[in-house]
Each structure stands twice: as C-alpha cells, then as structure tokens.
C-alpha cells in the first residue's frame, strides 16, 4: 500500500519519517523538507497530483485555508477508495464539508488530529483522535500506528476535530491558570522555577487534571454511584486548598479570578450538585 504525506513541518516531518521507504510519497512546498525522506527511499513528489497515487494520504498543513487548498487538488486526482486524512487542527465543520465534497469521487475524508506536539512526533508517541466510518478507521488504524502511540476512534467524520478542540481548550485554558498561580507564588516570594519543577514532577505521578477525566457524562452523579465518594474526597481537598489560596491572595493583593470561579463551581464540576 502506498502512503502519501503532505506537509513536512515540525510535526509532519517526523510523522512521515516513521513511514520512510519506497512506498511513501511526500510533498512539501519546501524541497529541503523532502530531501531527508528522499534519501531514505521515499518518493519526493513534484506536485500534489503525484501524491494522489497513494491509497492513504495524510495532510499535516498549517490551517483551514491550506487544508482546503490541498484537498481541492487531491480529491479530483485521487483514485476511488482513497482515504484523505486531515491531521491539522481545523474548524469543527471543515472535515465534514470536505467529506461531502469528496463523496461523489468515491474518496473518503477522515479527520485525525494529533496531540503530543513535536516531542510526541519525534518519539512516535502521538495520540490520534479519528473521526471516520468504522470501515475507514479499520483501514487507517495500523497505518497511523506507525507514528502514534494511541489511535482512538472518536466517532463519525468531524468527531476527531471536536475532540481535539475540547482537548486544546483544557490545554490552553490551563495556561491562564498557570499564570495566575505564578502571580500568587511570586507575590509570596516563591521561586517560580522551583514551583514549576514541583508541578511537572507531581503531575507526572498523578496524571494531573487528566486523572479526573474518568466519567462518561458531565451530569450530576446519582446517589449510590461509586464515584460520588471519590469526587466528594476530591471536593473536600479542593474546597479547603482553594479557600486557603484565596485567603493568601487576598492578603497579598493578588487578583485570582480563575481560582474564585473554580471555587464556586467545584462541587458542580465534580458532579456533586446541579450547576447553578
């Protein structure tokens, strides 16, 4: 089976590198990005039409505009039965629209965004969130496994992107929480570098916020649910610690709006009461 790869940047390059060989066709607007893979046996395409010979084609380009541009060239040129997989982080509806446009050609578009950054790409341990039909997922699962450590079927086309956007909401919203915690620590005379080491060490042990993502729904936990006792314990600790942190912030004159919001919402967010 021939595999095509378009977009050989910081993440796409290492991903394609794990497939390098005569069955890989690569394309990038930068010839220098294709050269290392060509040296390892891959075919450096002269155009997107050359990539269209592949049975599975991965796109790891910058944004919606580039995804649409590349797909517009590939869909009419590809053979019926080809799968085009979009790994870029795009708008929630982009892959759905492309799948509809590709259907008359007998081409299947799947969205398969990745998580793990360039470190995961280099190590071959990316997580992939796949939005696809059952049949398409069965075809791409092993192929994606060449450069990923976790390949999950999230649902139909579009589900992969929706999962990635939810995942990245947590990722980037946490940056604001990090900054708030650092402002409190700085005002309290705590060395920020040392605090960062503590956070990275303890989150590596406990799993960090992701360790709490064990529920199948965000609805309130019903009486008798075995998770209620666990979440009640988490709430008791969180309520106490957030109260103390807010008390310290007040003493030091540090504004902590995220902590105040988290304190108000904690019980509901843990499933212990109806959201207000």
Quickly tell me which residue has 């060449």 as its tokens. 146
SS3 assignment, position 125: coil
| Helices 159-187 & 226-252 angle (0-180, nearest 10) | 40
Helices (H) and strands (E) in the chain, counts: 11, 9
The single residue of 113, 153, 164, 180 carrying the catalytic annotation is 164
DSSP code at position 220: P
- Residue 164 appears among annotated catalytic residues: yes
DSSP, collapsed to helix, strand or coil, labels residue 149 as strand
Rounded distance between C-alpha atoms, residue 46 and residue 149, angstroms: 31
Which helix (H) or strand (E) is 111 found in, with range?
A: strand 108-111
Q: Within its chain, how far is the Cα of 58 from the centroid?
A: 16
Chain CA centroid to CA 254, Å? 33
User: What phi and psi values does residue 97 have, to the nearest 5 degrees?
Assistant: -65, -40
User: What are the residue numbers of the active site?
Assistant: 164
């Amino acid at each position: 089976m021939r595999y095509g790869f378009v977009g050989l940047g910081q993440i796409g390059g290492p991903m394609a590198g794990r497939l390098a060989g005569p069955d890989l066709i690569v394309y990038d607007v930068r010839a220098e990005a294709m050269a290392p893979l060509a040296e390892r046996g891959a075919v450096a395409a002269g155009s997107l039409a050359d990539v269209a010979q592949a049975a599975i084609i991965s796109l790891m380009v910058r944004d919606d505009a580039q995804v649409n541009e590349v797909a517009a060239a590939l869909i009419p040129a590809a053979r019926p039965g080809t799968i085009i997989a979009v790994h870029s982080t795009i708008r929630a509806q982009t892959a759905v629209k492309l799948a509809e446009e590709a259907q008359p050609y007998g081409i299947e578009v799947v969205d398969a965004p990745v998580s793990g950054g360039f470190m995961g790409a280099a190590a071959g341990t990316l997580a992939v969130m796949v939005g696809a039909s059952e049949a398409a997922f069965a075809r791409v699962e092993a192929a994606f496994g060449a450069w990923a450590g976790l390949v999950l079927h999230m649902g139909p086309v579009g589900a992969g992107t929706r999962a990635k956007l939810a995942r990245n909401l947590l990722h980037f919203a946490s940056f604001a929480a990090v900054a708030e915690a650092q402002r409190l620590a700085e005002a309290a005379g705590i060395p920020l570098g040392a605090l960062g080491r503590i956070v990275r060490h303890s989150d590596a042990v406990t799993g960090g916020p992701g360790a709490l993502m064990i529920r199948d729904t965000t609805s309130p936990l019903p009486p008798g649910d075995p998770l209620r006792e666990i979440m009640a314990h988490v709430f008791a600790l969180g309520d106490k610690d957030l109260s103390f942190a807010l008390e310290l912030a007040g003493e030091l004159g540090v504004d902590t709006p995220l902590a105040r919001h988290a304190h108000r919402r904690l019980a509901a967010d843990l499933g212990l009461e109806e959201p207000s």
